[in-house]
Amino acid sequence: MGKVTSFCLLVSTVMLLVTFGKGMGVLHGSDVGAHLTWALATLVSVLGANVFAMFHAAQSDRIIRALRAELATRVGQARPD
């Protein structure tokens, strides 16, 4: 994974844990608004991380296709028929 994707994953995981803690606090009479704010921020963060992951996957697929085409060309040129 790329550095940006790994960073987004780390941030999303930390935010998810904070949101879980806030949710547990709601069960004990804490502020519901704070939990909902963290839940929305976590959702946006996870969606952003998924977008970056899809972008990196698409970029990797293009690179792999280009390398396979180059390899096929070189192997075809190396074979004297």
pTM of this structure: 0.60
In order of 12, 36, 71, 75, the CA distances from 32 in angstroms are 20, 6, 58, 64
SS3 79: coil
In order of 7, 48, 76, the CA distances from 55 in angstroms are 15, 11, 32
- What does the pLDDT look like over 4-56, one tens digit per residue? 777 877 888 888 888 888 888 888 888 888 888 888 888 888 888 888 888 87
Range(s) of the domain holding residue 55: 3-78
**Does position 81 have pLDDT exceeding 70, yes or no?**
no
**Does position 79 have pLDDT exceeding 80, yes or no?**
no
**Does position 1 have pLDDT exceeding 70, yes or no?**
no
Structural domain tally of the chain? 1
